[in-house]
Amino acid sequence: MTDVPDAPDDDRTRCGWVGAGSQPDALLYRDYHDTEWGRPLHGTQALYERVSLEAFQSGLSWLIILRKRENFRSAFAGFDLEAVARFGEKDIDRLLADPGIVRNRAKIEATIANARAIVEGDVDLDALLWSFAPAQRARPADLSQVPATTPESVAMAKELKRRGLRFVGPTTAYALMQATGMVDDHIADCWVPAAGASASGGSLHAHCGR
């Protein structure tokens, strides 16, 4: 996470990717860090939204996605899986003409294909994703100790690809794990309290071929 404007200093220690200052973008980023990032997220629709947004973020700043998040929700029917799974060529053309989102055909088509793969799958997305959550560990001392990928994110990406999902490689999978609280990568001195033990879904590992 880079190129973040500063947000007002409230004397709280935060992760190094959060700046300080008063610009709206800085406040948006800080609020995301304080209230969402690293908090356990459950629910098939909510997790499908996060998978989709992480895919759209690939190669871009997460701040771009945050600015456009409500537009994405409107454009993709609130990330309702059944609705998105029914999107066709007219919807793709509509999305490619929508300046409120990231107009990347490959990512748009992947989001639709992923909805279809999830709807047609034999495992709930929530249970599937959380089955890769590792055991709880100590928070990193600083950002240099935060990995880009882990064995769990590699395994998650491999399983999602096997199930027909696109744009979810190991790095994107790990970003998803960080954002949804499957791992806690807030630095040790960050004021945001730990959310508690990570959910573990080891019972799915055999099903997922791990």
**Number of folded domains in the chain?**
1
On whether residue 94 sits in a domain, the answer given is yes
- Which structural domain range is residue 172 located in? 44-204
Asked if pLDDT for residue 47 goes beyond 60, the answer is yes
On whether residue 28 sits in a domain, the answer given is no
Read off the pLDDT band of 185 (50, 70, 90).
very high
Read off the pLDDT band of 9 (50, 70, 90).
low
The catalytic site residues sit at 32, 54, 62
On whether residue 21 sits in a domain, the answer given is no
On whether residue 164 sits in a domain, the answer given is yes
On whether residue 209 sits in a domain, the answer given is no
On whether residue 22 sits in a domain, the answer given is no
Q: What is residue 23's predicted lDDT score, i.e. its pLDDT?
A: 83
Q: Where are the alpha helices (DSSP H) in the chain?
A: 24-35, 44-57, 62-75, 81-85, 89-96, 105-120, 125-130, 151-162, 170-179
CATH number at residue 97: 1.10.340.30
On whether residue 32 sits in a domain, the answer given is no
Asked if pLDDT for residue 73 goes beyond 60, the answer is yes
Q: Tens digits of per-residue pLDDT, 125-143? A: 999 999 999 999 999 999 9
On whether residue 179 sits in a domain, the answer given is yes
